[in-house]
Amino acid sequence: MAHDGYFFRSRRGLPAELVEAQVRVEAIAKGYGLDFCEIVFEMCDYDEINMIAAYGGFPTRYPHWRFGMDFLQMRKGYEYGLQKIYEMVINTVPSYAYLLDNNTFMDQKLVMAHVTGHVDFFTNSSWFAHTNRKMLDQMANHAARVRRHIDARGVSTVEQFIDACLSIENLIDPYLHHIRRTRPRSESDIERASLEPGVVKLPARSYMDKYINPPEYIAAQRKKKAEEVQQMQRFPESPLRDVMLFIIQNGRMARWQQDVMGIIRDEAIYFAPQAQTKIMNEGWASYWHTTMMTRDLLEDSEVIDYADHHSGTVTMRPGSINPYKIGIELYRHIERRWDKGQFGKDWLDCDDVVVKRDWDKGTGLGRQKIFEVRRSHNDITFIDEFLTEDFVREQGLFTYEYDKRAGHYKVDSREFSAVKQKLLFMLSNRGNPRIFVTDGNHANRGELELTHQHEGTDIQVQWAEQTLRNVANLWGRPVHLVTQVDDNRVVLHHDGTEFKAEGLKQKGRRRRA
């Protein structure tokens, strides 16, 4: 797509005042050191922006009912005045961002400032380094390919398959580009390993042999070696995070199915870093829109509206975390600490409350530090490294739990370690259970064994049952999920038509009826 192409209507450009505003906002942003690629702003009416939001920011996606569902929800939300989307930007080069056409001029400036923050983040965060910046074209290609399959196979067939793929859309490896997980190993490697004697005996005279090379030790070594070879022959060799890829490569499916599943995986991988950096990204953009608006861009007459809209964005609904709020406050917290020199060994070793309160070494490294942070951290490391006890107290963070007797959620604890732990747990794997492929040839019958890495929270069995059904259909053979329910080892089986749960207490089954 040409860089100057507009998606909608009569290729509307921006009105003159907004072109001017964009130039101004970008100049100011560059002055603060933000570094971003070309940004193309488009004006949309609310139906268009709802559509784009439903499509995850892109003007074209493959046909699927869930986009319609999301669209309906956003449209109704807008029509009944419950919610309003007023900015959106996608990670491409050039970056496309959308402005709602009935926003006020102040709103448009705010959105532009916010968007420059996002684009700077896309450009500089290492977590986005491997994303496809031509995703706009890629998405359009995907749509065309899926449409072709639909023409050939019929809507329902393809749609049903897409539904099944979406069921495991979250079973990808979000660190795919950052960690090399497996060394490719060839057949000959394995053969060589199994032929090698493996156990080296120290030279010794025969009468000394059993002291220098104790038989138990030799036996243990042999066994270890044999296990290693066995492990090498396993399939996959070690537990695999990217369940989707494994199924694409090894499942019994037709060419077109491989293609469709590949598309869904590609898109899931493209979106993964955005989920991994939600707090950082929104916090960063919010930090910059407040900074630029309050210092440079606001007219006197706009202050009230600005304050209203800004506080709307960073407001905390009871019982949920607003990534905008946590993000912006944490950046400010970091900036303050590094400005005052509240870091390093001296700071950590000091336990005098008064000294700490008045600690100011005038280091002034705040700005520099937050730029550094935005380059290398993701949400988890961001929280892990910078969420301090002071921050938790200042922000009034708490953990909550469901009170069964009272039938509602209640505040559980305000303790630092509890809050931090809970927050990290919520963020790890985006609150999804971690599932690995552990055996692709289970019981030597070509069945698939998945293992849930249990971290204290059980998976929901009904959902697992439905998901496994889809996995079984994708894999083409029965599948098994090893997990834990109520501290018992449970294996769930599904062969595509029938579901069996092994080791599950009866009560769980009855409650379903």
Partner 1 sequence: MILNIENDLNRFKEIVKGKVRKDLRRYMSSGEMIGKQGNKRVSIPLPQIGIPRFRYGKNDTGGVGQGEGDDGDAVGQPGDGSGKAGDQPGQHSIEAEVSLEELAEIMGEELALPRIEPRGSKQISSERDRYTGISKLGPEALRHNKRTFREALKRQIASGTYAPARPVIVPIKDDKRYRSWKTKNEPQSAAVIIYMMDVSGSMGNEQKEIVRLEAFWIDTWLRHNYKNVETRFIIHDAAAREVPRDVFFRTKESGGTLISSAYKLAVKILEEDYPAQDWNIYPFHFSDGDNWSANDTRSCMKLLNEHIIPVSNQFSYGQVDSEYGSGQFYKDLNEQFAKDERVVTSRIPRRDAIMDSIKEFLGKGN
**Residue of 27, 69, 303, 443 that binds partner 1 (CB under 8 A):** 69
Binder among 180, 255, 317, 510 for partner 1 (CB under 8 A): 317
Site for partner 1 in 5-44 (CB under 8 A): 8-9
Tell me whether residue 29 or residue 110 sits nearer to partner 1 (CB atom).
110
Instruction: Tell whether residue 491 is a contact of partner 1 (CB under 8 A).
Output: no
Q: Which two tokens stand for residue 115?
A: 């968007």
| Sign of the dihedral defined by the CA atoms of residues 194, 200, 205, 210, in that order | negative
Residue pointed to by tokens 């070594």:
221
CB of 174 vs partner 1, minimal distance in Å:
10
159/296 with CB nearer partner 1? 159
Stretch that binds partner 1, among 167-175, 340-348, 352-360, 370-378 (CB under 8 A): 167-175
Look at strands 488-494 and 499-502 and give their pairing. Answer: antiparallel
Q: Which of 57, 251, 440, 478 binds partner 1 (CB under 8 A)?
A: 57
What is the spatial distance between Cα 474 and Cα 118, in angstroms, rounded to a whole number? 37
Considering only residues 135 through 164, tell me which ones interact with partner 1, judged by CB under 8 A: 155-156, 159-160, 163
Q: What are phi and psi of 502, to 5 degrees?
A: -110, 125
Using CB under 8 A, which of 93, 176, 218, 426 touches partner 1? 426
Cα–Cα dist 181/197, whole Å: 28
Is residue 298 a contact partner of residue 110, using CB atoms and an 8 Å limit?
A: no
Is 410 a binding residue for partner 1 by CB under 8 A? The answer is: yes
| Binds partner 1 (CB under 8 A): choice among 395, 438, 441, 453 | 395
Residue 271 binds to partner 1 (criterion: CB under 8 A)? yes
> Please, which residue, 121 or 338, has the CB nearer to partner 1?
121
Q: Which of 36, 41, 86, 127 binds partner 1 (CB under 8 A)?
A: 86
Report the residue number, 274 or 378, with the smaller CB distance to partner 1: 274
User: Could you say which residues in the range 452-481 bind partner 1, by CB under 8 A?
Assistant: 452, 456-461, 463-464, 466-467, 469-470, 481
- HEC profile of 25-71: HHHHHHHCCCCCCCEEEEEECHHHHHHHHHCCCCCCCCCCHHHHHHH
- Per-residue x/- track, 185-224, partner 1 (CB under 8 A): ----------------------------------------
Does residue 278 touch partner 1 according to CB under 8 A? yes
Residue 243, burial from CB neighbour count under 10 angstroms (0-12, 13-18, 19+): buried
User: Which one, 342 or 470, has the nearer CB to partner 1?
Assistant: 470
Q: Does 118 bind partner 1 (CB under 8 A)?
A: yes
- Cis peptide preceding 94, ω within 30 of 0: yes
Angle at alpha carbon of residue 283, lines to 176 and 418, rounded to 5°: 80
The least CB distance from residue 301 to partner 1, in Å, is 21
Q: How far apart are CA 126 and CA 371, in angstroms?
A: 12
Q: Which stretch binds partner 1 (CB under 8 A): 54-62, 223-231, 250-258, 368-376?
A: 54-62
Q: Which residues inside 437-456 make contact with partner 1, applying CB under 8 A? A: 452, 456
Radius of gyration of the chain (CA): 28
Contact of 344 with 363, CB cutoff 8 Å: no
**Residue 312 in the binding site for partner 1 (CB under 8 A):** yes
Contact of 448 with 435, CB cutoff 8 Å? no
Please name which of 175, 161, 179, 151 lies closest in space to residue 263, comparing C-alpha atoms. 161
CB of 321 to partner 1, least distance (A): 6
Asked whether the CA dihedral 8, 47, 269, 97 is positive or negative, the reply is positive
| Beta carbons of 374 and 124 less than 8 angstroms apart | yes
User: Which residue in the set 22, 125, 131, 281 belongs to the binding site for partner 1 (CB under 8 A)?
Assistant: 281
479-485 and 447-453 beta bridge pairing: parallel
Member of 21, 43, 112, 171 binding partner 1 (CB under 8 A): 171
Select 231 or 460, whichever has its Cβ closest to partner 1.
460
Of residues 46, 71, 347, 416, which one binds partner 1 by CB under 8 A? 71
Q: How many residues bind partner 1 (CB under 8 A)?
A: 113
Smaller CB distance to partner 1: residue 142 or 369? 142
- Backbone phi, psi, residue 446, to 5°: 70, 20
Rounded CA-CA distance 388/420 in Å is 9
| Sequence letter at residue 386 | F
Measure CA of the first residue to CA of the last residue in the chain; give whole Å.
53
Residue from 47, 196, 228, 360 binding partner 1 (CB under 8 A): 47
Q: Which of residues 319-338 bind partner 1 (CB under 8 A)?
A: 319-322, 324-326
